[in-house]
Structure 1
Amino acid sequence: MELFLAPLKERKPFIALIKDIPASFTKETLASQNIQSILALPIFAKGLLWGFVGFDDCTSERIWSDTERDLLELFAISISEAIERKQAEDELKAVYREIMDDLEIAQTIQKSILPPWFHLYGDIMISSNYYPWSKIGGDLFDCIMLPDNRYVVYIADISGHGIQAALTMTAVKAIFSMVIRAAENDPSPQTVVTRLNHVLSTRLFQDNYMTMCYCLVDLNAMTVTSLSAGHPPLMIYHMGTRATRLLDKKGDIPVGWIADYEYKEANTETTSFTAEEAICLVTDGVFECFDKDQQAVGIEGLCDVLREDIHLNDCIMLPHECYQALDARGYTNRNDDYSFISLQLVPSEKSKVMYLEVLSQLEHVDKAAAACEAFVLQSGRSELVAFNTRLVASEFMSNIVVHGLEKRSTETLSLKLSCEGEVALTIRDNSPPWDFPPREPDMPDFFDILNLASNTHGRGVQIMHSLTKSVTRTRVHLVNETRFVMKDS
């Protein structure tokens, strides 16, 4: 077909009466189709010959007019443009998929840098809800345990959004940890933030800056000292009265504005707190969310939400309940990262309430279940109730780890066991949402349904129902909460 293709490759038409074509494969091919006259024009896409479009006449030896030739040329150009658009769209989709894959990896890395959603640090427990506006964001927070029963807790917001803010956040997190360790002898807010500001201003920040709230928690004195560097203030939330205290009387400039700036103790605030209170830190994305009328909830509105819509007895679900309560009030329009952390004292060993952080690995599940049995016995309950509590804890968490979290070994489960009155076991996890099947006879095991590799039905759910008075499961934003009330015998 070289005789046919040669002019097309030169961006020229192939026009011929078949009888005039020299004997060749081209002539034989066209004649076999009873073609007597042909007009073909090339189709190019991105400089390469993609194909051709043509007219042929099988009834007469047609002489093609200029009008017919012009129409066919316009048609060929339209096809070329359509092909190039499709190729460009495919390339754009491929680039988009690659970017999204990279962002998924970046999101996983960023998540690993931040603390888990629930964590026990010595005598305090901390819960967090980090929900970036896009795949990744520029908020960061952490809790660092120091000697002498003191803790550094901070939350910060890098200026900007997206990849640049996320990359800056990663570097700031590492620098912050080094500054804290170097300042163990004097971890006061003014000292640490001054050093951090100097390092970041001279080595990292160019067009960036960072707002932050830095807190030093002293459990011996039961006080917290905070410095707000252009950041929303520290909040103290009382679980019983649901009242919120704001440490908003003083403040200072954001980190990165002036390289040699010295933060002053006079701009810090100190307050006492009790075991019934949670220390809360937020970024402005928590209260700068808008309703349909573009009205922001604001910091005072956030305090109203905490007072009127939240009913909890510990801090674990507070960041998640707050997000859901804001949604329920119609504040669903967000254009910034949502970061909310809350921390509270862990009850003393003499308390009849136990909290555990359980890493999503089966060996850790076994240890936690054994600890539940020991705690129930220690609380004066029967061996049968203690064993049944262990069985329910082990069965449920094992299935969450294997099926819900699909053996993601770095995830965290929160376990609360209360022996005040009824024995109640509450387990929180961040696996995908699902409903706990109701109590009914001959019920297939829900967890085996989740396990696509399984062709059998177990009895795990029925066993848990048989050992408990009630099972309730709810989802609050990104966290599932399952509560088992054990039978007395």
Structure 2
Amino acid sequence: MLEHDSSESDAQIDIVELLLKRQAELSALLEITRAINSNVSSEALVEMLETIMRNNLKVKKFRLLLLNIDQFFCVSNFGGELEAPEDLQLIADELLPLKVPVHIASHSNPIFSAFDYFIPVHHKDEALAFVLVGHFDHGERLLENSVDYIQTLINVIVVAFENKKLFKERLYRERLQREVELAKQVQNMLIPQNLPKNVFLDVESIYRPHQSIGGDFFDFIQINNEEFLWCVADVSGKGISAALIMANFQASLRALVSLNAPLPILIEKLNEIVYNNTKGDRFITLFVGVYNEATRKIRYINAGHNCPIVVHQNEVLNLKKGTTMIGVFDELPFINEGELELEPGAIVFNYTDGIVEYDGEEEQSITEEELADFLLENRNKDLKQLHQSLIDKLDILRNYSEATDDITILSLKIH
């Protein structure tokens, strides 16, 4: 009789203990949920988790690892010295495919057996995290419930981490998109919209950035009643950084032109500015020319850029004289200024490498010689028709696929 009363009393104690444990677990889970809904920081969630593990579940050794790209990183640990990353990765590689909690205290590898349980967290068959629990001091009948509870708790927290990560990524993308749109607006403001078309000359352009914003640039500046300067340039790299460098370049160019600096001095100063701003990590290729309507002469410097092509009657000439690209050296090794007299009807065709370079098959590209032949054959067209005919030719060659580089054309036709 006494034995029966004793066993019945023990069962009642177990039920009470289980109920109290369940109540504590639900309360902790509720607190975690409230914290998530209140958008507390990830650090605060980790602190709450560690408190629950230590105080509620009596865990004395704990590791929580989250997956980032293709590697697991420990975001929470207590009890003993943290294992080497490669040891933790070894545990993940062997046990994650099982997708269920595993008792590992008797594992033959001491790295594994230093813990009692391996508890994974998956979402749609994708591993997101895993937990290692050691020195887990629970009664046999309560142990399975505790493991399930830990898995549920970690799953809630990991999903919260993922949501925070996605939210931050969305905010970052939205901010980046706003910055791109702003940079695009600024860049469009820098590109001349109204080009001369008068008794002395016609000027036409095409500007097609590969991305929303590009690294190509051109400008056309009236110096005085008889002279104007034009420039075509290409900065290394793409995107916002390239656009910012080019915006700074244009401001410097216009400032130096307003000081009536000779072309060699202008190129020296531009090189100094670009080199100091980029520390030699970026460079700019450019062509700058000055045309005098009275003398019909152009003075020019080609700084490592695609050679502009001068077409007149049955002749083709490349404007090569100049120097190296700017921004690579603190001082340019040499500067040669070219000069040429242009006859009525001459075309000066300036372009960037998006015209002759394409990341496709060789037959999808146009060589500089083929470009010169095309210009010679189409020299009698007006500039807008000439440009469109060239773009149509490139589209056909490239099967109307997306361009792989910025495309810029600036052409002058002398009357």
TM-score calculated relative to the size of structure 1: 0.52
CA contact (8 A) 1:291 1:333 kept: no
Larger Rg computed on CA atoms: 2
The answer as to whether partners of 1:218 and 1:224 remain within 8 angstroms in 2 is: yes
SS of equivalent residue, structure 1 residue 287:
coil
Contact 2:236–2:242 (8 Å) recurs in 1:
yes
Q: CA deviation at 1:256?
A: 3.1
Q: How does 1:29-428 map to 2 (within 5 A)?
A: 40=26, 42=29, 46=42, 47-48=44-45, 65-116=142-193, 118-120=194-196, 123-183=200-260, 187=262, 189-201=263-275, 203-207=276-280, 208-237=282-311, 245-261=316-332, 263-265=334-336, 267-275=337-345, 277-292=346-361, 296-306=365-375, 313-330=381-398, 332=401, 334-345=403-414
Q: Is the 8 A contact 1:227 1:269 kept in 2?
A: no
Q: Which has the higher contact order (CA 8 A, sep 6+)?
A: 2
Q: Using the TM superposition, give the Cα deviation of residue 273 of structure 1 relative to its aligned residue in structure 2, in angstroms.
A: 3.7
State the SS of the aligned residue for 1:115: coil
Q: How far apart, CA to CA, are the structure 2 residues paired with 1:20 and 1:232?
A: 81
User: Whole-Å Cα distance in 2 between the matches of residues 115 and 340 of structure 1?
Assistant: 13
Cα distance in structure 2, aligned partners of 1:262 and 1:38: 77
Aligned-pair CA distance for 1:128: 1.9
Which runs of 5 or more residues in structure 2 are unaligned? Answer: 1-13, 37-41, 53-139
Q: Which amino acid aligns with 1:193?
A: I
Task: Output the amino acid matched with 1:327.
Answer: D
| Counterpart in the other structure of 2:82 | none
* One-letter code aligned to 1:97: E
1:101 and 1:307 map into 2 onto residues whose CA distance is 44
Give CA deviations for 1:32-89 in whole Å, capped at 9, x if unaligned: xxxx999646256623479x9xxxxxxxxxx974224323422332332233212211
**Displacement after TM superposition at 1:149 (Å):** 2.1
Partners of 1:66 and 1:327 in 2: CA distance? 69
Q: Counting helix residues as a fraction of each chain, which structure ranks higher?
A: 2
**Equivalent pair of 2:18/2:142 in contact (CA under 8 Å):** no
C-alpha deviation, 1:104, in angstroms: 0.2
Q: How far off its partner does 1:305 sit?
A: 5.0
Query: Deviation of residue 271 (structure 1)?
Result: 4.4
When residues 311 and 235 of structure 1 are mapped into structure 2, their CA distance, relative to the original with a 3 A threshold, is closer
> 1:125–1:344: 8 Å Cα contact kept in structure 2?
yes
Q: Is the 8 A contact 1:236 1:273 kept in 2?
A: no
Q: 2:356 & 2:384 partners in 1: Cα distance?
A: 20
Gaps spanning 5+ residues in structure 1: where? 1-14, 22-35, 53-62, 347-489
Task: Tell me how far apart the structure 2 counterparts of residues 90 and 321 of structure 1 sit (CA, whole Å).
Answer: 47
In 2, the alpha carbon distance for the partners of 1:17 and 1:133 equals 70
* Matched AA of 2:288: Y
Q: Distance in 2 between matches of 1:20 and 1:66?
A: 14
Whether the aligned pair in 1 keeps the contact of 2:359 and 2:404 (CA below 8 Å) is no
2:286–2:304 contact (8 Å) kept in structure 1 = yes
Q: In the alignment, is the contact (CA less than 8 A) between 1:244 and 1:303 conserved in 2?
A: no
Whether the aligned pair in 2 keeps the contact of 1:212 and 1:228 (CA below 8 Å) is: yes
Counterpart contact for 1:190–1:263, Cα < 8 Å: no
Give % identity. 20
Q: For residue 232 of structure 1, give the secondary structure of its aligned residue in structure 2.
A: coil
- Aligned-pair distance for 1:254? 1.7
In 2 relative to 1, CA 271–106 (structure 1 residues): closer, same or farther, beyond 3 Å? same
In 2, the alpha carbon distance for the partners of 1:262 and 1:183 equals: 23
The worse-fitting range, judged by mean Cα deviation, of 104-113 and 121-130 is 121-130
- Tell me, yes or no, if the aligned pair for 2:364 and 2:398 is still in contact at 8 Å: no
The alpha-carbon distance between structure 1 residues 16 and 316, as it changes in their structure 2 partners (threshold 3 A), is farther
Give the Cα separation in 1 of the matches to 2:18 and 2:225: 103
Contact 1:292 1:333 in 2 (8 A): no
The one-letter code matched in structure 1 to 2:300 is: S
TM-score, with structure 2 as normaliser: 0.60
Aligned equivalents of 1:314, 1:232: Cα separation in 2: 23
